[in-house]
Every structure is written in structure tokens, then in C-alpha cells.
Amino acid sequence: MSTTEPTADAPVEGAPRRRWALPLVIVAGLAVIALVAGGIWWWRSGDGSEEAEQLAAALESGDYSGLALAAGDAAAAAEEHERILGSLLEDSGASPQVEVSGNADAEGERALTLAWTWDLADDVTWEYETPASLARADGGWAARLDPAVYAPDLTDSEHLELDAVAAEAGEILDRDGVSLYGPRDVLVLGLDLSQLDTAEEEDAAARELADALGIDPDNFAATVEASGEDAFASALTIRAEDAGDYDLDAAEQITGYLAQEETMPLAAERDYAPGVLGSLREATAEDIEESEGEVAAGDLVATGGVTAARRDQLVGTNGLEVLAVDEDGAERSLLSTDPVAGQDVTITLDDELQRLATEAIAGEDSPAAVVALQPSTGDLLAAALGPEGQEYPIGLVGQYAPGSTFKTVTSLGLLRAGLTPASEVQCPETATVEGRSFKNADSLSSDLFGTMTLAEAVAHSCNTAMVLESDTVSQEQLAAAATTLGIGQETPEGLDAFMGSVDPEDTGTEHAAAMLGQGRVLASPLAMATVLASVQNGAAVSPRVLADDDSAAVEVDEPLTEDETAQMQEMLRGVVTDGSLDDFADLDGEPVIGKTGTAEWTDENGETKLHSWVIVAQGDLAIAVFVEDGSYGSVTAGPIAREVLEGAAAL
């Protein structure tokens, strides 16, 4: 967009632009030399064109050291340049281009027209013209500088500022159009420093307000100290509906306290689907500096998730306003462009299922997650976190040993090695590989030790049976089976996620441990939900969160065959009918398949603890449940998974 202020005469087309050039006239090979004021200087045209170009260059750069001035010196001119243009230069990250577009003679003076061009944004160019003049001086011409040289009709008391005209942001909507993220009413709480007279009063008020709001007094006092004399120092921004959670009555008794009503983009509720939605915030001075001109004051910066993937679509384009501001704060607009509103972004989350999953793990006292996928599409339906210890969205980016849920992958590897669900395997109490002993979970009845079918080993989650088959399936084949079921694929657009890893080079005891989903095998709840969704779907599932993401399904070197799919579903159904998920056998509706998992880990105190896992699928819904510090999968994660399945059926 180009906006042009009223100008003087049009520029002279084709006029040459010269900078710092001393014309040398050569006549018949001889230099013409003149004596002036007792010295020798090169002849020049004397029409002021060189000084005009020097003036244009100084206005562009702010360096007046090479310019003859009619009044004042270069240092004073540079200071005035900074006073008038400094804020605009800093906030826009742009530098002006100044051209001498016309001139006229006057007795003892040369009248100039300067054409200014500012590229304030990708599609916003500000063009205008200002008058300037050169006065006859000893040996040449000297520039007259006054504020009107910099911008149209600028007075001695005015300077230029750039303001953003905020665009109305779009919203993130769930699959049914429910608003999950968008403009919300907030209160910005802080101090109006114009009401406080001394630094001591400001410091005291800052600490008193910090105590009332429950924030760090030293940090807020430092913020106040660094603020301008009459600035508003923001202490805390809260949702309008959360005002009752703060002692605002006490805050209102503090001199200078001010609560400003604003709107800002936020999730529907605090901590709603973290890692999926991401966040938008106003750019800081550091953001602007590090962006190399890409970010301007007033811009919204996106962090993580959908907001980062679709930031431009959501926030739209801010308008711009260039203001002439006088010393009393009075403003007049020199340029104004309209903002372009943001657009809504629809994602695959199901708000009802998201809330159901969040409620199902609300009672957990260690980090926990529930992830739900739609196998037929890969749509992420829910990504819920428990209330404790959630420093990051572990359901999406957590890297944990998946334990016996990984036997889903191991089983596929064994099928490809020639076994069938009816093949006999050995399930002793313990098994040793290269001197390392492996044992079964204490919950496995000793009555089951001995010979059993592969299907029974999966149903009862016999560790030793899988370890003893480690020579049947190489680590490379195990990694290939994991890839078939979606492990290790690229991160879906719009999600910060870890899709799991299985190193194909592991050998010996590491390979044996990998058969159990331990050793160096790592997965997130999202990755394990993808594994079971792939079995339910009969092909590798590629998760997605953006409803318009039409990326092709993940391609694997060895896709699931129909026979493999049927055999895998048969064995995982046996986990429900005859094994560790028998509590799910009575659920109404389509058959449930799944697998429990338990993985040992050691905390910072050296104490051995258990990760609790369950993956289950029913119809077109696959769920992974993870509790970081739990018991066996069927004991801790199992009831959570059942609650989600039952609730989903009622939605």
C-alpha cells in the first residue's frame, strides 16, 4: 500500500543523483584553477546541487559532519535528527530515502524540494515532500535545518512516532466451531507513575502492589524504575473473569494503582490444550531487535503450536499510523493505513472430548497425559494434561520408555519373522541375555510360566517370552516394524511433538530391552496413540491438528498387510478378553483392543518407580494414557482410559 501526502511540484524525471562528488572540468586537458580567500580550490558549478545532495545524504543517515550548516553545528543537528526521527526509526526498523526532486532560485538562497520515501512495512510505503533551502555562504552554500524539513508542516515542538493500528485477531475453533482461542477480556494491572512524585514513592508503591497481587516485589520495583517518568508500569495481566482471585480492593488503596480494560488473544481457559494451541503475545523490544526488521512495535509474536503455524492467518495485518506528537502529547496523523482482520483457523480437537480427558486425569498427583486420535483420519481429538508438574506438554513432546505397550510393535516384528498368534513361545519366570537378567512383572501369575502361544504372551504381557525371541527379530527389523506403525515420522504441522525413536543399530542387551519397550526406545503418548491407531486403521496413521492439512499419509517401506492387520487386532483384542485389560471386556459398543505398559525409571533420589501406560482403541477412537509416577498400566492408567472411552461413547 502506498500513501502519498500532498506534495509540491513533481520530481524532475531523469534528474541525476550525485553524492559527495567534486566536479572536475577539463578543458583541452588543462585544469581550471581559481584562487579564493588566499587558498586554492577546485572549480565547481556553484549552483548548490552538491550541497543539496549532501543535505539529502545527511537526512538519510543522521550524520551531519560533512554538511555546511547555516546555523548550529553537526552535533546539534544530529541531536535534533534523533529527537524528531528517533522513535520512528526505532519502531519501524526502516531508514528513509531522500531525493532532491526540484529547486528554484531566490536572491541569496536556493529553494529545494525533498522527496522522502519510507518503507514502513512490506506493503506500506510512505511518500511525501518537504521544502528545504540553502543559503549563500563563503565558498558555497549552507543548509538551513528546521523541523518542517523532516515531515510536512512539522513544528519546533513536534516529533514523529509510529503506532500500530491493531487488527482484530481471528480465533482457533474446534472441529464443531467452538472457540478455543481468541480475543478475551483482560485487566492490565499496574501503576500510573504520573501520580507519584519521587523515586522513593514509586518504589514503595511498586512493592506494595506486588504484595497485593502476589508477584515478586523486586522484579516489579525494577520494572517501575526502568519505566519513563509518566509511564504506565504494567505489573500483571489477568483474565477479567479471574478478578475475584486477586485482592483488588487492597490494590485500589495504593496511590497510582490503575486497572486498564483490554482484550488479548488467549485460550478459552487457562492451561487448555497446552502445546496444541500455543500463544500470541505482543512483541518486546528484544523481539523487535532480533527480528532484523521483520517484527515491529505492536506486532503479535507466536510461540508454539497452531498459533505459530498459522500466525499470519490468525493475526491479520496491523494498520500503521505515523503521528506528529508535540511536547504536551497532542497528536496529529500524517499517515494512516487500515488493518486487515485475521481469519479463523479450524483444528481437529473436539472440545467435549478434550474436557472429558482433562477431567479424567484431574486427580493425578504426578505428570500425566491423555491423547486421543481418530484412526481413519489421524485427527488429534484431545491432548490433555494432568494438573501437576506440567512444565511442558508431555503428551506431545515427552520422551519416555513406552514399556509393554511397545509389544504391539514387537508382535508385528515377530509376525514378519514367521510366527503366528498360535505359535508357541516360552515364558519362564526370568530370562538371561548376555549376562543380564530380565524378569516378568510381579503381577503376572506364576501359573502362566511355561509354554504359551504368542497371542497369550501378548495378552498377559510376558516379558521373558519377548526377550527370548530377541534372536528371532533383529533390531533393524524391530525398528522397521516401528516405522510401519508410525514411530519416528515427521512432526505434524502445527504441533510441537516427539514421534518416537528406535535405534536400528542397538545390539545385545539393548536389543533385548527394546523388545520390551525399554532400553533406548523412546516414545511420547502421541506416538503410542499413533501406533495403536495404525493397527486399528490397517495402515500407518499420520496425526494432524490443522483441519485443512491435506498432507499425504505417512509413507513406509513395509506397509501393514491385511493379514498382519487382522492378526494384530486379534492379539490386541485378546488383551481385553483374556489378559491385562479384562476390565474393558464389558464395555458396550464395538470391540475394544489395547495394550498395557509399565516401565521402570529412577528418580533424582535413586528410587525405582513405574511409568504407567495404556493404549486402547474402540471404533474410530484410539487413546493413549500415561502417568509418570504410577503403578502397573492396568492399575493406574487403565481406569483413566476406561473413563474416557465410556464418556466418549456418551458424547
Name the burial class of residue 11, with classes exposed (0-12), middle (13-18) and buried (19+) by CB atoms within 10 angstroms of its CB: middle
130 in any annotated domain: yes
pLDDT, one tens digit per residue, over 41-57 is 222 346 778 899 999 99
Residues 434, 545, single domain; the answer is yes
Residue 388 lies in a domain: yes
Is residue 397 located within the same domain as residue 508? yes
- Same structural domain for residues 304 and 390? no
The pLDDT-based confidence of 639 (bands split at 50, 70, 90) is very high
Residue 58, domain extent: 2-154
**How many domains, the chain?**
4
- 397/507 same-domain check: yes
Residue 19 has pLDDT above 70, yes or no: no
What pTM, to 2 d.p., does this model score?
Answer: 0.79
Closest CA to 632 of 587, 589, 579, 592: 579
Computed over every residue of the chain, the mean pLDDT equals 89
State residue 2's pLDDT score. Answer: 40
pLDDT tens per residue, range 416-465: 999 999 999 999 999 999 999 999 988 899 999 999 999 999 999 999 99
Express each pLDDT in 544-564 by its tens digit.
999 999 887 788 999 999 999
Please indicate, yes or no, if residue 160 is contained in any of the structural domains.
no
If asked whether residues 473 and 574 sit together in one domain, one would say yes
| Residue 48 in domain | yes
Final residue before a domain boundary, out of 293, 317, 343: 343
pLDDT by residue (tens digit) across 58-77?
Answer: 999 999 998 999 999 999 99
Mean pLDDT of 23-35: 33
499 and 629 assigned to the same domain: yes
Per-residue 3-state assignment (H helix, E strand, C coil) for 140-208: EEEEECCHHHCCCCCCCCCEEEEEEECCCCCCEECCCCCEEEEEEEEEEEEEEHHHCCCHHHHHHHHHH
Same domain, 552 and 607: yes
Same-domain check for residues 306 and 415: no
pLDDT digits (tens, 9 = 90+) for 364-414: 999 999 999 999 999 999 999 998 756 789 999 999 999 999 999 999 999
| Measured distance CA(370)–CA(384) in Å, rounded | 5
> Which residue, of 199, 232, 266, is where some domain finishes?
266
Q: Taking the mean position of all CA atoms in its chain, how far away is CA 152? A: 40
End of a domain among 306, 327, 343?
343
In a domain, 360, yes or no: yes
How confident is the model at residue 33, as a pLDDT?
33
Q: Clarify whether residues 18 and 28 are in a common domain.
A: yes
| Distance between CA atoms of residues 532 and 375, nearest Å | 8
What CATH number has the domain bearing residue 468? Answer: 3.40.710.10
Long-range contacts of 294-301 (CB under 8 A, 24+ apart): 296/91, 296/92, 296/93, 296/121, 296/162, 296/164, 297/91, 297/162, 297/164, 298/163, 298/164, 298/166, 299/164, 300/169, 300/265
Per-residue pLDDT band for 23 (boundaries 50, 70, 90) equals very low
Is residue 189 over pLDDT 50?
A: yes
| pLDDT given at position 140 | 84
Distance CA 202, CA 623 (A): 54
Within 13 Å of residue 514, how many CA atoms lie on the same side as its CB? 29
Task: Read off the CATH number of the domain in which 257 is found.
Answer: 3.90.1310.10
Instruction: Mark 506-518 as b/e (b = at least 16 C-beta within 10 Å).
Output: beebbbbbbbbbb
Candidates 619, 626, 627; CA nearest to 645 is 619
**pLDDT of 293 strictly over 60:** yes
Residues above pLDDT 90, as percent of the chain: 75
Residue 159 falls inside a structural domain: no
Residues 232, 91 share a domain: no
Provide the pLDDT for residue 185.
93
Same domain? For 432 and 540 the reply is yes
How many angstroms separate the Cα of 624 from the Cα of each of 96, 479, 503, 524, 645?
57, 21, 23, 9, 11
How big is the CA angle at 548 (ends 379 and 180), to the nearest 5 degrees?
70
pLDDT in tens, 270-280: 889 988 999 88
Residue 93 has pLDDT above 90, yes or no: no
The pLDDT of residue 28 is above 70: no
Is 419 part of any domain?
Answer: yes
Of 132-146, 206-220, 412-426, 606-620, the poorest mean pLDDT is in: 132-146
Q: Are both 311 and 214 inside the same structural domain?
A: no
The pLDDT value recorded for residue 46 is: 66
- Of all residues in the chain, what percent carry a pLDDT higher than 70? 92
| DSSP bridge partners of 159 | 325
